[in-house]
Amino acid sequence: AGQPLVLGIESSCDETGVGIVSGTTLLANEVASSVEEHVRFGGVVPEVASRAHLQALVPTIQRACRTADVDLSELDGIAVTAGPGLMGALVVGLAGAKALSAATGVPLYGVNHLAGHVAVDLLDHGPLPTPCVALLVSGGHTSLLRVGDIATDITELGATIDDAAGEAYDKVARVLGLSYPGGPVIDRAARDGDPRAIRFPRGLTAPKDLVRHRFDFSFSGLKTAVARWVETARLEGREIPLADVTASFQEAVCDVLSAKAVDACRHVGADHLLIGGGVAANSRLRSLLAERTAEAGITLRTPRPVLCTDNGAMMAALGAEVVRAGGRPSAPDLGADPGLPV
């Protein structure tokens, strides 16, 4: 048999994504985002996201098939995100995938969203030397993974114990009166700031925290520290130095993320570090990681930005790996699991 031809469906948050791959070759990646509908709420509203998925799913599948010039009957598999994510959003993609599978007889594969963020790199950089470490940083998750085999062996080394990194960006942006999503706005505002202007806390990096939380993250204390700093400045009638505050906040986030990611590589014995998720687009995170991985002799792999944020191609890429590994198709009563572990 040739390369498995797989269609992937992603609907765990606010992106309706449909991708088609042939093995590790990307044929189509169509994404319909409802992010605009959430802007005025300052965050993703589950109910609104579910309805948008319902409207976008079938047209997005049709667009992907047209782009790839693929007929559904040719597929070797339909891969769909089974979790983790928003329950109401996941079930829409799952229902669509099950219906497609039932109607065409193409096997259905329920796959893990976090593993998808790892698998997508194959489409950009080919085979991934293992074991490697993956740092996933988005609005919904922040975790460090040890990857032995993409289809069968991914374990979580650590994760955030409170807010995700992107969530911290979004909340701090809100405190500063900046728009949603906060990541890109803060990234830009911080460009002219001094990252050492204010020393904000680095969560879970104290020696006593490292004992139990060596690879875990915490950003809610940082968020509170920024909010308190801003509040004090306002009460004292001082002007908020936006560039310095954002640069200092960003430095605290990126310092911890990159230090723990490099430490995880040492721990695992990995000489490749992969990053994914919306925050992987951050300019400071990229430069700091480039610096620290180079010092440590680690190769940094970053999929192009459109593949870092949620999309269907990542689920298709993972599905193709599962098919290649001889994984068994899912039962037709496959359920969504909002808290699915990796």
Binding interface with Zn ion (CB under 5 A): 138, 310
184 binds ligand KG4 (CB under 6 A): yes
CB of 83 to Zn ion, least distance (A): 11
Reference 144, options 216, 243, 194, 77; nearest CA is: 216
CB of 85 to Zn ion, least distance (A): 8
Query: For residues 274 and 286, what is the distance between their CA atoms, to the nearest angstrom?
Result: 11
Residue from 279, 288, 314, 342 that binds ligand KG4 (CB under 6 A)?
A: 279
Contact 318, 119 (CB under 8 A): yes
| Stretch 236-275: interaction string toward ligand KG4, x if CB under 6 A | ----------------------------------------
Query: For residues 82 and 9, what is the distance between their CA atoms, to the nearest angstrom?
Result: 10
Instruction: Identify the H or E element spanning 157.
Output: strand 153-159
CB of 275 to Zn ion, least distance (A): 12
83 binds ligand KG4 (CB under 6 A): no
Residue from 93, 278, 303, 312 that binds ligand KG4 (CB under 6 A)?
A: 278
Residue 140 marked ligand-binding: yes
187 binds ligand KG4 (CB under 6 A): yes
Q: Distance of CA 123 to CAs 24, 109, 112, Å?
A: 5, 19, 17
CB of 188 to ligand KG4, least distance (A): 8
Instruction: Identify the H or E element spanning 155.
Output: strand 153-159
Residue 327 marked ligand-binding: no
- Please tell me whether residue 152 adopts helix, strand or coil conformation: coil
Please identify, using beta-carbon distances, which residue of 57 and 137 lies nearer to ligand KG4: 137
Structure tokens at 156: 């979580």
From the list 20-28, 182-190, 208-216, 229-237, the region that binds ligand KG4 by CB under 6 A is: 182-190
Contact 340, 36 (CB under 8 A): no
From the list 63-71, 143-151, 181-189, 198-206, the region that binds ligand KG4 by CB under 6 A is: 181-189
Q: Which of residues 87-146 bind ligand KG4 (CB under 6 A)?
A: 138-140
84 binds ligand KG4 (CB under 6 A): no
From the list 19-27, 69-77, 165-173, 217-225, the region that binds ligand KG4 by CB under 6 A is: 165-173
Q: How many chain residues touch ligand KG4 (CB under 6 A)? A: 20
Query: For residues 135 and 157, what is the distance between their CA atoms, to the nearest angstrom?
Result: 10
The residue behind tokens 């993974």 is 145
Strand ranges (E), 4-152: 5-10, 15-22, 25-33, 77-83, 108-112, 132-137, 142-149
Structure tokens at 4: 């498995």
Query: For residues 185 and 189, what is the distance between their CA atoms, to the nearest angstrom?
Result: 6
Binding-site sequence positions for Fe cation: 113, 117, 310
Which positions lie near ligand KG4, rule CB under 6 A?
Answer: 13, 138-140, 166-167, 169-170, 181-184, 187, 277-279, 281-282, 309-310
Task: Write out the binding residues for substrate.
Answer: 136-140, 170, 183, 187, 282
